[in-house]
């Protein structure tokens, strides 16, 4: 155990293989780091699967035990009995939960993460979380000799399955370099954004922009439908013009016009993300009226459509208000 701790806390320049192509790393890296993954939700599950497939010795834990059991049966991962059990012996512990307070709630008690984490380990929080809470968690862990980085992701469930996620990291860059081989199992673009909390802040703003684009595209297309312009024609023109966005180019053609509305990223989570962006703007005294309004609209949509609704289903509320379907 002592030897492993020494090995993973070396400076990354000692690992010449870090310069090797990604595909050749698996065997070498798997002898270095034991990984624990907590939170096998819509995106956590495929991320953990990529970690297992990359060859890392993996221990998993999930609040609803059946999900963990199913995952362990389908992979070579060991199912832990508690967060503490998962963290014991792990070099890298990854959490992917709805929000930072959920992560904080796993730290304490006899079966909490802190009871299992050893000095020299790193907690990588892939939750789209709150910068201030991440900073508090990092401070608590520092006292135990445990490093922390916030590492929220974007790219959706399909990006997680393909290993093409973007990972936005806040924290010590040397810690990032140490755990980078694990992040590369699911991330293609891994970007150091600043100190602890910077990844969370960037993710919240990115998702606030996503919410703005979904809502504004829905309003514009509903209005055009009322004016007698087919949403299909409208999108063809907008997507060749300056008003286009990921919402207009991908989400609306694939999910709204088709009425498919697949459930990949819950509206409840987008509501949470835009609220974080709005709260950060208030805390920093940065006037952000559009973000504040979008946060309020996402909350109304979430309350009206329920916890299970997908984020793109927010367009259904705009349709209801306008009395027209975007199809
Ligand atoms: P889900 O709601 O699908 O899953 C949440 C996971 O967290 C489940 O494993 C759930 O366990 C667990 N969980 C919830 N609350 C607690 C708690 N208090 N204590 C312990 N475990 C808990 O979320 P996603 O997987 O979609 O999202 C996870 C994170 O990733 C979120 O921060 C989200 O914003 C972000 N994200 C999601 C994307 C997506 O496309 N889905 C894209 C990019 C980021 P249980 O099985 O018991 O419910």
Alpha helices in the chain (DSSP H): 2-8, 26-30, 44-53, 65-74, 83-87, 100-104, 113-116, 131-142, 156-162, 173-183, 198-226, 231-238, 246, 267-283, 289-305, 314-322
* Ligand 1 nearest atom to the CA of residue 64, by list position: 47
More confident residue, 106 or 23: 106
Catalytic residue, from 49, 162, 189, 203: name it. 203
- 316 catalytic, yes or no? no
* Ligand 1 nearest atom to the CA of residue 97, by list position: 7
Beta strands 153-154 and 165-170, pairing class: antiparallel
For a pLDDT cut of 70, what percent of the chain falls above it?
A: 91
The pLDDT score that the predictor gives to residue 32 is: 72
The structural domains of the chain, with segments of one domain joined by +, span: 2-195, 201-322
Per-residue model confidence as pLDDT tens digits over 300-314: 999 999 999 999 999
The pLDDT score that the predictor gives to residue 158 is: 96
2-195: CATH topology: Rossmann fold (3.40.50)
The pLDDT score that the predictor gives to residue 297 is: 98
**Average pLDDT of the segment spanning 55-66:** 98
Residue 231 has pLDDT above 60, yes or no: yes
Contacts 24+ apart (CB under 8 A), 225-228: 225/322, 225/324, 225/325, 225/326, 226/322, 226/324
The pLDDT score that the predictor gives to residue 97 is: 98
Q: Do domains 2-195 and 201-322 have the same CATH topology?
A: no
Per-residue model confidence as pLDDT tens digits over 89-111: 999 999 999 999 999 999 999 99
Q: Within 6 Å (CB) of ligand 1, which residues are found?
A: 39-44, 62-64, 67, 96-98, 102, 105-106, 127-128, 153-154, 156-157, 264-266, 269, 273
**Domain 201-322 is of which CATH architecture?**
Orthogonal Bundle (1.10)
Q: Which of 38, 39, 309 to mutate to test the pocket of ligand 1 (most atoms within 8 A of CB)?
A: 39
């Amino acid at each position: 155990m002592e030897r492993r701790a020494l090995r993973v806390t070396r400076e990354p320049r000692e690992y010449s293989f870090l310069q090797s192509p990604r595909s050749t790393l698996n065997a070498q890296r798997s002898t270095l780091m034991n990984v624990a993954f907590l939170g096998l939700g819509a995106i956590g599950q495929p991320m953990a699967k990529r970690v297992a497939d990359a060859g890392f010795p993996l221990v998993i834990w999930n609040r609803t035990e059946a999900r963990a059991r199913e995952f362990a049966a389908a992979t070579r991962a060991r199912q832990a009995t508690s967060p503490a059990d998962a963290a014991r012996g792990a070099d890298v512990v990854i959490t992917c939960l709805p929000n930072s307070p959920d992560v904080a709630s796993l730290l304490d008690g006899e079966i909490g993460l802190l009871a299992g984490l050893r000095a020299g380990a790193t907690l990588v929080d892939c939750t789209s979380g709150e910068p201030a809470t991440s900073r508090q968690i990092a401070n608590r862990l520092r006292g135990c000799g445990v490093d922390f980085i916030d590492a929220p992701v974007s790219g959706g469930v399909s990006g997680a399955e393909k290993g093409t996620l973007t990972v936005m990291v806040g924290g010590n860059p040397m810690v990032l370099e140490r755990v980078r081989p694990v992040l590369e199992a699911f991330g293609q673009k891994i970007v150091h954004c600043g100190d602890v909390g910077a990844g969370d802040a960037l993710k919240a703003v990115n998702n606030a922009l996503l919410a703005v684009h979904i809502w504004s595209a829905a309003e514009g297309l509903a209005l055009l439908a009322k004016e007698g312009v087919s949403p299909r024609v409208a999108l063809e023109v907008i997507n060749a013009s300056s008003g286009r966005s990921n919402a207009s180019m991908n989400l609306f053609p694939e999910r709204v016009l088709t009425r498919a509305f697949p459930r990949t990223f819950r509206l409840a989570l987008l509501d949470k993300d835009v609220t974080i962006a709005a709260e950060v703007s208030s805390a920093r005294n940065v006037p952000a009226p559009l973000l504040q309004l979008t946060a309020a609209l996402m909350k109304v949509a979430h309350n009206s459509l329920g916890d299970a609704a997908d984020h793109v289903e927010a367009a259904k509320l705009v349709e209801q208000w306008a009395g027209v379907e975007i199809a």
